[in-house]
Structure 1
Amino acid sequence: MSSSLESTLSREWLRRGPLACALWPLSLVFRSLAAVRRGMYAAGLSRAARLPVPVVVVGNIFIGGTGKTPLTIWLVDALRNAGYTPGVISRGFGSAALAAPQLVTASSAPADVGDEPVLIAARTGAPVMVSRRRAEAGRALLAAHPELDIIVADDGLQHYALARDVEIVLFDGRGVGNGWTLPAGPLREPPSRRRDFTVVNAPELTPTLAASVAPRAAGGAVPVQMVLAGDVAERLLAPSQRTTLAELAARGGKVLAAAGIGNPGRFFAMLRAAGLEPEELPLPDHHDFRDNPFADRRADVILVTEKDAVKCRQIEELSNDPRIWVVPVSARIDRALADQIVEKCRGCTSA
C-alpha cells in the first residue's frame, strides 16, 4: 500500500491532476509554515549556530533523490584541490537513532550511521560526522579533526539551525515537477527560494528546464549542469575485478539492475545508454537489503549502485554472491563552478 501511494503521488507531483489540485489548499499551509520557520531564523527570532569555519550546504527542494551524494563527493575533491582541508557532516538518513554525534569511516555499519555517509567517507577519505543536529555534528567533527578549515553539509538545506555561508540547490531532469509544495507537489520550498548556486543533474539542460529551476527571484547565477557518468562495474566480492558496461552488454545473458535510491530510473537510464537491457528492480530509498531481494531472481549479472553496495557488503549472503557488480558514478561539472564556490568561501569570515 505504501509503495502504491508513493507511486501515485510521484505521478501526480509531475502534473497538476485532480489529486494534486485537491491537495493544493494544504500545500499553501505547508508553504506558509515553511516560510515562517525560515523567516524566524532570518530575522534572528530563532538562533542559528555558527561554526568557526565556512559551511557549504548541499541540498534540494525537490523531495527525494536528485544526486546530492555525488555532488558532495565532487565538492569535497574540488575544495581539496583548491587547498582546503574539508570535512563532511550529515544527518545519516537510514541509520539507527543516534544518541550522540558519530564519526563515520569507510568500514562503519550503514545501519548505524546511514548509507550515504559511509559512501562519502569511502570515496573521499575525508572525515565524516553524523548527527540529528548538524551543528553538533560540526562541532564534534572539528573537535576530532582540528585541521579542518571548511565543512560541507550533505543534505542540510532546510536545517536552518546551522548557519551556512554558501547554499547549493540541486535539481534533476524533473525540474520543479508541477511547481507546488507538499503535499500537492514535490517541493519542500517554492522554486523562488534564494540560494547561491543552482546545479541541475540532467543529461540535457534545456532553456525551459533552466528557467524553471532558477527563476530570477531565486537570486542565484545561471544553473550549472551536472552529469553522472559511470562506464565500469566492479565485482562486489572482489572490487579489483572490473569490466566495462559495454563489455557486459556484449556478453549477453540476463542482467538485473537494482537501485534503492531516491530516483532509481536515473540509474536504469544510464545502464540503457551504455547498451544494456536490464530487468529493472526499483527498491525503496535506503533499502537495507536484509530481505535479500535477489534470492529468487534468475540473473547472470546483478548491477547495483554504490549506495546499495555499502549495505550489501555487510550481509554475508550478498557479499559472497558472484553475480553482484557495483557501478560507481562520478559527477562531471564545469570547473568554473568550483572556482566560484571557492571564491565565495574565501570571502567568509570565521565565527
Structure 2
Amino acid sequence: MMVWRQRFERCLTRGWYEGAGWLWLAWPLSLITGLVVRWRRYWVTPASLPVPVVVVGGITVGGTGKTPVLIALAEALVVQGHKVGIISRGYGGTVGEGPCIVQRSSPAALVGDEPLLIAQRANVPVVVGKNRYAAATALIEAFAPTIILSDDGLQHLKLPRNFEIVVLDGERRLGNGRLLPMGPLREPAARLDSVDWVLVRNGENEESAFHYQLEGFEHRHSAQVLAAEGIAKQWQGLRVAAVTGLGQPDQFFSALNSLGLTVQSHAFPDHHSLTEVDLATIAADVIVVTEKDAVKLCGINDERIWILVISTKVPKVLLRRLGAQFNQAEAVPCSTL
C-alpha cells in the first residue's frame, strides 16, 4: 500500500511542477476547491486574542522549510525580549482537537514530529491541537506569552493574526499555479498579495531569502558530533544512505551531495515514521536522517544512524519590521482577513 502511495505522490508532484497535461482531468475538482476557499473566506470570522499572532504558513502543499524558519524566528524574537509561545496543528499525531502541551519527551506519535522538533530546538512553549484558536487560548493561560507564532495555520481562518508570513521554495515556487488537486496550491496565487511577508528558500533577494546552514552530524546512539566540513573524508570507503520522510526529500539529498558524499537515496512519504523494518532493508554502513525523522525513532537502536543538523536565519529586515510592530506593551488590532 505504501509503495503505491509513494508512486502516486511522486507522479502527482512531478505533474504539478513539470506541467503535465493529464492534470486537466482534475480541473473540475480544482474549481470546487476554489469555491470552498472563497466561501470559507467570506463566512468564517476570526475570533480575538489578547496577544499578537504571527502565522508562518504556506499556500502550497509539501515541504518549503517552515519548521527551520519558525525555530529561527522564535529564537530571534526571544533575543528581542519577547516571551514566545508556539501553536501547531500537530499533524501526524493523534492528539486530535487538543489542546495538548508538548514536552521535550512527548512521543511524536501523539503530538506530531514538527511540533516536537520545534519544542526541542526552540526551547519555548509549544501547544498543539487541530483547533488552533483553542491551542492559542490554552497557551496564553498556561504560559502568558507576549507573542504567539503559529506553525502553519494560514488557512485556519478562525485564528486571528496580526502578521502573515508565507514560505515558498525558490526552485518550485507555485508549480503550475493551479489549485488542488490540479496543482499544488491550497489558495489562489493572488493570496500572496495580501500577506505581510514572503520568504523564499534559496532565494536571491536578501529581503526574502533564507538558506540552510549545515551544522554537522550527530550520532544518535552516542551523541558524538562531526563537522559537516570534511565529512566525505571521514566517511570515505563507507556505504552511506540518506533516508527520510520529508515532503521535499531532494533538498536533503542535495545537501548531502554538496558535502561530497555519494549516497543511496531512500524517500518515504511525508511524516512517515521510519521503522526497524525500513532500516533493516538498507545495505549501508551509515544511515543519515533529518532531525524531523530522528524525533520519531523512539525505540530504534540502530547504531548506523546519524542526524544531519541544520539551521537557518531569517532576513534582518523582517526582524526589524516585527520588532517595530510588536515591541510594545499591548497587541495591535488583528489584521482583517
* Structure 2 counterpart of 1:128, one-letter code: V
In the TM superposition, residue 23 of structure 1 has moved relative to its aligned partner by 1.7
In the TM superposition, residue 152 of structure 1 has moved relative to its aligned partner by 0.3
The match for 1:242 is: 225
1:78-114 CA-to-partner distances (Å, cap 9, x unmatched) read 1111111100000000101435311002111001100
1:278-310 CA-to-partner distances (Å, cap 9, x unmatched) read 100111111122354111222111110000101
* % identity of equivalent residues: 40
* Structure 2 counterpart of 1:115, one-letter code: D
Structure 1 range deviating more: 83-92 or 12-21: 12-21
* Structure 1 counterpart of 2:249, one-letter code: P
- CA distance in structure 2 between the aligned counterparts of 1:346 and 1:197, rounded to whole angstroms: 18
In the TM superposition, residue 333 of structure 1 has moved relative to its aligned partner by 2.8
The match for 2:200 is: 200
The match for 1:290 is: 275
Relative distance call for 1:20 and 1:137 in structure 2 (3 A) is: same
The match for 2:33 is: 30
The match for 1:230 is: 214
The match for 1:92 is: 90
- CA distance in structure 1 between the aligned counterparts of 2:61 and 2:97, rounded to whole angstroms: 26
Counterparts of 1:250-261 in structure 2 under 5 Å? 250=233, 251-252=235-236, 253-261=238-246
Counterparts of 1:109-258 in structure 2 under 5 Å? 109-146=107-144, 148-172=145-169, 173-193=171-191, 194-202=194-202, 204-205=203-204, 224-239=208-223, 241-250=224-233, 251-252=235-236, 253-258=238-243
- CA distance in structure 1 between the aligned counterparts of 2:15 and 2:303, rounded to whole angstroms: 39
- CA distance in structure 2 between the aligned counterparts of 1:290 and 1:323, rounded to whole angstroms: 14
In the TM superposition, residue 343 of structure 1 has moved relative to its aligned partner by 2.1
Superposition TM-score, scaled by structure 1 size: 0.88
1:56-97 CA-to-partner distances (Å, cap 9, x unmatched) read 000001101111110110110111111111000000001014
Does the 8 Å contact 1:168/1:195 carry over to 2? yes
In the TM superposition, residue 232 of structure 1 has moved relative to its aligned partner by 0.7
Count matched residues: 324
3-state secondary structure, aligned to 2:295: helix
The match for 1:308 is: 293
- CA distance in structure 1 between the aligned counterparts of 2:34 and 2:268, rounded to whole angstroms: 29
Q: CA RMSD in A?
A: 1.7
1:103-158 CA-to-partner distances (Å, cap 9, x unmatched) read 00211100110011110010011000001100100111111112x11100001110
- CA distance in structure 1 between the aligned counterparts of 2:278 and 2:83, rounded to whole angstroms: 40
Tell whether 2:290 aligns with 1:325: no
Relative distance call for 1:299 and 1:334 in structure 2 (3 A) is: same
Does the 8 Å contact 1:180/1:186 carry over to 2? yes
- CA distance in structure 2 between the aligned counterparts of 1:271 and 1:31, rounded to whole angstroms: 39
Could you tell me which runs of 5 or more consecutive residues in structure 1 were left unpaired when the two chains were aligned: 41-45, 211-221
Superposition TM-score, scaled by structure 2 size: 0.92
1:13-57 CA-to-partner distances (Å, cap 9, x unmatched) read 1133222222223212211221221132xxxxx332221100000
Runs of 4+ displaced beyond 6 Å = none
In the TM superposition, residue 176 of structure 1 has moved relative to its aligned partner by 0.4
3-state secondary structure, aligned to 2:50: coil
* Structure 1 counterpart of 2:117, one-letter code: L
The match for 2:64 is: 66
* Structure 1 counterpart of 2:150, one-letter code: A
